[in-house]
Chain A
């Protein structure tokens, strides 16, 4: 009897500890920019660097329609189908959100209601962004046309449909933000800017770096940008470390601007969206990304 009580207490304690450990951990107030400090005109650059429209605008939206962020194409993965939500300034989207709520979604994966968000939303990369850029992006998103309507619910298979599990996932895999690729101490300002764009808003590693746990774990930073299985299940996302990407820095920058490789093969697949977003960045940002990709360690295989 006594043993049973002890077991019962142990289970309660373990359950309590698990709940405590897996509950959402919001940003410190000091890690969030002051309210209304964001400048919408500056936020546009972050918006294109972050590729927000690729998931939150309608499928294959072109031109001004890419700024209507009512929720986008279903993202089909081995875990089920995700639907990116409405992030337009309508009340169905970001309408009622404060900057602090937005920052917590972007950098901690915590929704407005305090629930965990799935890492299909690349907050583990956005965690590397500056509070100022988050505030600028928030201001920009608030300036866009409101779109009514909520996106469909995610259709996920068990056990991925249990949100509490994301808390455990974060505990095990989200890690701490910070520079990922080791760079030489004398790396140029362009290389450092490229590092920020690629590892932070650009979230390139989310597809170009393999994950542990058969694709369900964290990004394997020992194989940073060395190529990975395509998350939608077909083909591979290429290795873009100097081990495989032999283009010159201007050729890389040119590819991001035009969608053409040096041999005039064209960009394809999901990279088309990415390239079209990158084409909207200032020239120096594309040059910075190229400089960074030439400076990172060469890793031979992501397999």
Chain B
């Protein structure tokens, strides 16, 4: 009786740990980071469009958060992470590693520069936001393939 309870407990533990482990894989990690980027871009865009009030502290925090993503992102594309989890990563990431590396480095440099610049006015923030988010499409042009 006691033994079977132990087995059940172990089974339940497996149920919970397996998905947790999967979420920790590189594909899901990079997907989560990209979602953070999207959240930050939306927060910035809303402030610039007037959909949300401009907040200087929030403006700065956006670039700090994006820079953090930029620094973690490039390492999450090991050779065994080309497929699965509905990844939209393009084969070009592994076929043209130097170009991909350069694209990540540019995102790191642009977010790092934006972090250090005074963005306490909406205009100053808008200028940096434009530079930083130009990385989204320049990278997605070559390195992402939409499933639908």
User: Hey, which bits of chain A sit against chain B, CB under 8 A?
Assistant: 227, 230, 234-236, 238-239, 259-260, 263-270, 272-273, 275
User: Is B38 within 8 A of A265, CB to CB?
Assistant: yes
Q: For A264, list chain B residues within 8 Å (CB).
A: 38-39, 41-42, 45
6 inter-chain pairs at a CB distance below 8 angstroms, sorted by A residue, are A235-B145, A264-B38, A264-B41, A266-B41, A266-B136, A272-B137
Which residue from chain B places its CB closest to the CB of A275 in the assembled complex? B137
User: Is A236 within 8 A of B38, CB to CB?
Assistant: no
Within 37-51 of B, Cβ neighbours of A (below 8 Å) are at 38-39, 41-42, 45
* B90 adjacent to chain A (CB < 8 Å): yes
User: Is B91 within 8 A of A269, CB to CB?
Assistant: no
Which residue from chain A places its CB closest to the CB of B40 in the assembled complex? A264
User: Is B147 within 8 A of A269, CB to CB?
Assistant: no
Main secondary structure of the interface of B (DSSP, over half): helix
With A236-B147, A269-B144, A272-B140: A260-B91 Cβ-Cβ less than 8 Å: no
What is the CB-to-nearest-CB distance from B111 to chain A, in angstroms, rounded to a whole number? 15
User: Is B45 within 8 A of A268, CB to CB?
Assistant: no
Q: For A236, list chain B residues within 8 Å (CB).
A: 146-148
User: Is A269 within 8 A of B45, CB to CB?
Assistant: no
Q: For B145, list chain A residues within 8 Å (CB).
A: 230, 234-235, 268-269
Q: Give the tally of cross-chain contacts (CB within 8 A).
A: 54
* B133 adjacent to chain A (CB < 8 Å): yes
User: Hey, which bits of chain B sit against chain A, CB under 8 A?
Assistant: 38-39, 41-42, 45, 88, 90-91, 133, 136-138, 140-141, 144-148
Give the distance in Å from the alpha carbon of A260 to the alpha carbon of B88 in the complex: 17
Which residue from chain A places its CB closest to the CB of B44 in the assembled complex? A264
User: Is A268 within 8 A of B137, CB to CB?
Assistant: yes
Give the distance in Å from the alpha carbon of A239 to the alpha carbon of B146 in the complex: 12
User: Is B45 within 8 A of A260, CB to CB?
Assistant: yes
